[in-house]
Amino acid sequence: MLQNRINALFQDSNIISYQYSRFAKINNGIYALMDIKSHNIERMVELHNIISEGLHKVEDIEERVDSLFFALMNPEDKRSIRDFPSFEDRIQYIDIPYILDMKTEVKIFINIFGRHIEGGFLPMVLENFARVIICTRIGKKSQALAEWIKDPGKYKNFCDDQLMLLKMELFSGKIPKWLEEEDIKSLDNKMLKKIIAESEIYGKEGLSGRDSIKLFDQFYSKYAKEDRLINMLDLCTFFNKLDDPPKRMIPPGFLEYLLRMYDYSVLQQVKESLYYYNEEQIAKDIKNYISAVTHDVDSVIKCIFTKEEIHVTEAFLESIENRLLSSNMDPKRRHEIRNDVLKEYTTRTLTHEIMIEEKNITETRLFESLYDRYVHNLKKRVLEPFIENENFRNAIKDFDTEKFKAHDKRIKKDVKFLMGNLSKKFGYTAQGANEACIYVIDNDLANKFK
């Protein structure tokens, strides 16, 4: 606007020469150079005299510089300004620790390499890559954790002996579900603050952000394939074959613990996906069983709860006891259990809970106890097809191929149910669900954690 007025006043006399530099645009402001590399080094050199003298020469004119100049660089880039001693007293070091949050580390990979990379991994494997990176950045021992959890060995299926994996969960703002109730109760605000406070001394050593990105690029380039997903064995192989010094930064035994945690987790996912029960049928079995033990063997009765006619035989009682307890239980123990159920029913369930408190049979202590036993044993034995049924294992391997059609109808139904639940409950793709099940079978995880 001012220039237009000047031009209008002096026309084309050229009496006034209007000169300016690109630095004039930020005079009385802030000029920042981010990351002193490549062309920014030249910019830094160009600014040197201005910074040193506080004057900027534009042809024959010297203008006073009232700007604030910032140059932000990593410590290793300090060599770019080693020829300028005048900068030495102007340097300030700001501690910016490496990332300790596994979720944030994963987001960086996705941001740099693209969201499509998630589809190249089996669930939990990408997060475990980030855990390996972060384990190099956090302390191996924690006084706060040692004060909180006295016996780390009880969590060997979920964590390492130094509880580094637990620390990572807490740094991500998550209290793991696998912690025992006693430990959750003792994790009060004071203890949590102690643990979080320790994070302030971490993140100054270990694999840097650049190292992490470089390693991930190497890993993904090597193992990403169109016909298969990246699994935990790929991850362990990659880090075990790393050259020093990155390999030395990973604590001894950490990869073994991480693999054990993954194996246990994926096995639980398969168990949860295989597990199917009909609540109505379980309740009916328990009601019939309670009625049956109150009568003599070989009698024919009508259950007062289900109104079904029951022929009380050893075979009938054992068929339910095999689900409640164990299929190889000796006769003496079976009779003890029946007597216990009969005693509980006659002394408490019927006379007190049903008749006085007017509870439904499903609300009684006896029913709840038997129901919990029934469900627990169903879950415990849900992996028997993996261990004992070769046809079931072969059907999993043949899933989504022409060979699958040749398998038994019941087995096909169970395998489809398993694959569907893995996708619905745990986010597996069809290919991922298949590969996860084959991983469980090939590595005999059912027996490993038996």
Q: Tens of pLDDT along 206-255?
A: 898 989 999 999 999 999 988 899 999 999 999 999 888 888 899 989 99
Number of domains composing the chain = 4
Is 1 inside any structural domain?
A: no
Q: State the DSSP H helix or E strand holding residue 32, giving kind and residue range, or none if neither.
A: strand 30-34
213 vs 123, 208, 252, CA distance in Å? 20, 9, 23
Q: State the DSSP H helix or E strand holding residue 30, giving kind and residue range, or none if neither.
A: strand 30-34
Per-residue b or e along 20-34, where b marks 16 or more CB atoms closer than 10 Å to that residue's CB: eeebeeeeeeebeee
Query: Could you tell me if 231 and 123 are in contact, meaning their C-beta atoms sit under 8 angstroms apart?
Result: no
Q: Say yes or no: 267 and 289 in one domain.
A: no
Q: What is the pLDDT of residue 217?
A: 95
How many CB atoms lie under 10 A from the CB of residue 297?
Answer: 13
Q: What is the pLDDT of residue 96?
A: 81
Query: Could you tell me if 30 and 65 are in contact, meaning their C-beta atoms sit under 8 angstroms apart?
Result: no
Higher pLDDT, 214 or 50: 214
Question: How large is the average pLDDT for residues 180-185?
Answer: 84
Q: Say yes or no: 203 and 117 in one domain.
A: yes
Q: What is the pLDDT of residues 331-370, one digit of tens each?
A: 888 888 889 999 999 999 988 999 999 999 999 999 998 9
Is 95 inside any structural domain?
A: no
Is 10 inside any structural domain?
A: no
Question: How large is the average pLDDT for residues 119-144?
Answer: 90
Q: Which residue has the tokens 């893995």?
A: 422
Q: What is the pLDDT of residue 240?
A: 92
Q: Which is it for the CA torsion 194, 200, 201, 203, positive or negative?
A: positive
Q: What is the pLDDT of residue 403?
A: 87
Q: Say yes or no: 354 and 222 in one domain.
A: no
Is 7 inside any structural domain?
A: no
**pLDDT confidence tier of residue 407, bands split at 50, 70 and 90:** confident
**pLDDT confidence tier of residue 47, bands split at 50, 70 and 90:** confident
Q: Say yes or no: 286 and 424 in one domain.
A: no
Q: What is the pLDDT of residue 386?
A: 63
**pLDDT confidence tier of residue 328, bands split at 50, 70 and 90:** low
Q: Say yes or no: 198 and 304 in one domain.
A: no
- Separation CA 215–CA 112 (nearest Å): 13
**pLDDT confidence tier of residue 128, bands split at 50, 70 and 90:** very high
Q: Give the mean pLDDT of the chain.
A: 85
Q: Say yes or no: 241 and 316 in one domain.
A: no
Q: Say yes or no: 263 and 120 in one domain.
A: yes
Asked which of 47, 64, 90 is the last residue of a domain, the reply is 90
Asked which of 34, 69, 90 is the last residue of a domain, the reply is 90
Is 5 inside any structural domain?
A: no
Q: Say yes or no: 68 and 154 in one domain.
A: no
Q: Say yes or no: 443 and 347 in one domain.
A: no
Q: State the DSSP H helix or E strand holding residue 302, giving kind and residue range, or none if neither.
A: strand 300-302
Is 345 inside any structural domain?
A: yes
Question: How large is the average pLDDT for residues 274-279?
Answer: 74
Q: What is the pLDDT of residue 257?
A: 93
Q: Say yes or no: 144 and 67 in one domain.
A: no
Checking if the pLDDT of 151 tops 80, the result is yes
Q: What is the pLDDT of residue 237?
A: 94
Domain extent at residue 312: 279-380
Percent of the chain at pLDDT exceeding 70? 94
Q: What is the pLDDT of residue 13?
A: 59
Asked which of 272, 289, 311 is the last residue of a domain, the reply is 272
- Residue 23 carries which DSSP code? G
Q: What is the pLDDT of residue 347?
A: 92
Residue 141: exposure state from Cβ atoms within 10 A (0-12, 13-18, ≥19): exposed
Q: Say yes or no: 184 and 246 in one domain.
A: yes
Q: Say yes or no: 39 and 141 in one domain.
A: no
- Separation CA 429–CA 419 (nearest Å): 9
Is 96 inside any structural domain?
A: no
Checking if the pLDDT of 130 tops 90, the result is yes
Cβ partners under 8 Å of residue 295, min gap 6: 301, 312
Is 239 inside any structural domain?
A: yes
Nearest-5° angle of CA 244, CA 248, CA 251? 155
Question: How large is the average pLDDT for residues 171-197?
Answer: 85
Question: How large is the average pLDDT for residues 304-313?
Answer: 90
Query: Could you tell me if 70 and 33 are in contact, meaning their C-beta atoms sit under 8 angstroms apart?
Result: yes
For β-strands 55-58 and 61-64, DSSP reports them as antiparallel
Q: What is the pLDDT of residue 215?
A: 94
Nearest Cα neighbor of 361 from 279, 281, 291 is: 291
**pLDDT confidence tier of residue 188, bands split at 50, 70 and 90:** confident
